[in-house]
Structure 1
Amino acid sequence: MNGFERRKQQKKAIILQTALKLFMEKGPQKVAVTDIAKQAGVSQVTIYNYFGSKDDLIDAALILYTDQIWEEFNSFLDSDKTFPEKVSRIIFDKKTAAAHVHLDFFDALMNEYTNEKSYIDTLYTEKALPRLMELFNEGKEQGYVDPGLSNDVLILYIQLFKEGLKNKQITEIALPLTEELTTIFFYGVAGKQGKTD
């Protein structure tokens, strides 16, 4: 890659990071291209040259956000932490993310996530879901997950939750309850967090 191409890629990355930050803080619809250009130190024309439209920039920002979350999630799952430590981190991270993400950004993310054949849906199906199954198998081996539960029922449970999030009214209710929903998902209504007998 020559110097010009490298500078172009660096500038594009700065625009994308700036857009993502603003979208998360204010929601995509409340952020103007002029706001992004000013904070990124570029012209509006540069943004349109690199991304085509604001909608394309929003899509790129959602993909960047998804990739960042996936990298963190994947790295943590590769660690030597126990099942309860991994689950606690997932719950804590979701609560933290929900508190720092504007509802409109979360809504855009959910809309993208629930669209079939979207980038997020593909990543979820091909990478995240198999890793979740590995986590549940770890939990079974360590005695924290009922070995009588099949992976099929766990996948169905996840799919039902995903289908529910397609409803905007449910998404708005679900966002502030992320920690509790995740706890119920992993531990059930009894909240049992110890090893199975």
Structure 2
Amino acid sequence: MINNLQRKKAKQKTILNAATKLFFVNGYKKTSIAQIAKEANSSQVTLYKYYASKVELARAVVVKLIVEGYGQYDKLLDDPDKTFVEKMQAMMQTGSSEASQISDNFVSFMLKEFRGANGSRTVLKVYNDYKINFWNKLFDQGRQEGKVNPQISNEAALIFLDMYVSYALNPNYDAVEFNHHADELIHLFYYGIMGR
């Protein structure tokens, strides 16, 4: 029984990884279920046992990116050998590097998912579930090292973060344009218009 469960989890992970790879390269629209099944060495029937639709599979990819991203950043915050500034620089480099690897079409899909435009609020819920603990930890570390202004509360900083995210999620805004300025926006988020 356990072996069967492990096999199922392994197959689901293989499908999810194949979908991630293809969505990043080809985008959501140009990637078919048949291509994902082939990349995962699976049949389409097997794929549909785990994911009822292409939208559900792509949503699972976005959730995976959020969970893994916060996990990676959280490990970085726990690194005792790096200063707060070094941690911030590593997060900025990782964020801009990852953004440049994602097809514009999949970026558009991800933002639609954050907005709930595809009929589910799952992505935004997962993002919000991870957000508060991570950012509070980051702000607290920054204050301990004297790099975050002690007069700015975590609550105010989270409001700023939410304003930033809300702008990106505005359906009237071009997701592709937002992605093209990812480096600048990440820098502005962490350092403001005054630089460092």
- When structure 1 is superposed on structure 2, of 68-77 and 87-96 the one drifting more is 68-77
Amino acid at match of 2:26: K
Q: Match of 1:145, SS?
A: coil
Match of 1:155 among 153, 158, 161: 158
Answer yes or no: is the 8 Å Cα contact 2:51–2:57 preserved in 1.
Answer: yes
Unaligned runs of 5+ in 1: 193-197
Amino acid at match of 1:63: V
Work out whether 1:187 is the aligned partner of 2:188: no
Residues 27-81 of structure 1 show CA distances to partners (whole Å, capped at 9, x for unaligned) of 1111011111112111111111221222221122222222221221111111122
Amino acid at match of 1:23: F
Amino acid at match of 1:100: Q
**TM-score normalised by L of structure 1:** 0.87
Q: Report the Cα offset of residue 104 of structure 1.
A: 1.6
Determine the C-alpha separation between the residues in 2 that align with 1:156 and 1:2: 45
Q: Report the Cα offset of residue 10 of structure 1.
A: 1.8
> What's 2:27 paired with?
27
> What's 2:93 paired with?
92
Unaligned runs of 5+ in 2: none
Q: Match of 1:148, SS?
A: coil
Determine the C-alpha separation between the residues in 1 that align with 2:57 and 2:127: 21
Across the two proteins, how many residue pairs are aligned to each other? 192
- When structure 1 is superposed on structure 2, of 183-192 and 84-93 the one drifting more is 183-192
Identical-pair percentage: 27
Match of 2:121 among 97, 107, 118: 118
> What's 1:195 paired with?
none
Extract structure 1 runs of 4+ deviating beyond 6 A.
none
Structure 1 residues 129-144: aligned runs within 5 Å: 129-144=132-147
Determine the C-alpha separation between the residues in 2 that align with 1:133 and 1:6: 35
Amino acid at match of 2:194: A
Answer yes or no: is the 8 Å Cα contact 1:114–1:163 preserved in 2.
Answer: no
Cα pair distance change 1:56/1:144, threshold 3 Å: same
Determine the C-alpha separation between the residues in 1 that align with 2:121 and 2:91: 23
Cα pair distance change 1:185/1:163, threshold 3 Å: same
Q: Report the Cα offset of residue 174 of structure 1.
A: 1.9
Q: Match of 2:181, SS?
A: helix
Cα pair distance change 1:5/1:181, threshold 3 Å: same
Cα pair distance change 1:2/1:114, threshold 3 Å: same
Determine the C-alpha separation between the residues in 1 that align with 2:96 and 2:178: 11
Determine the C-alpha separation between the residues in 2 that align with 1:34 and 1:127: 33
Work out whether 1:166 is the aligned partner of 2:186: no
Q: Match of 1:41, SS?
A: coil
Determine the C-alpha separation between the residues in 1 that align with 2:56 and 2:126: 19
RMSD: 2.0
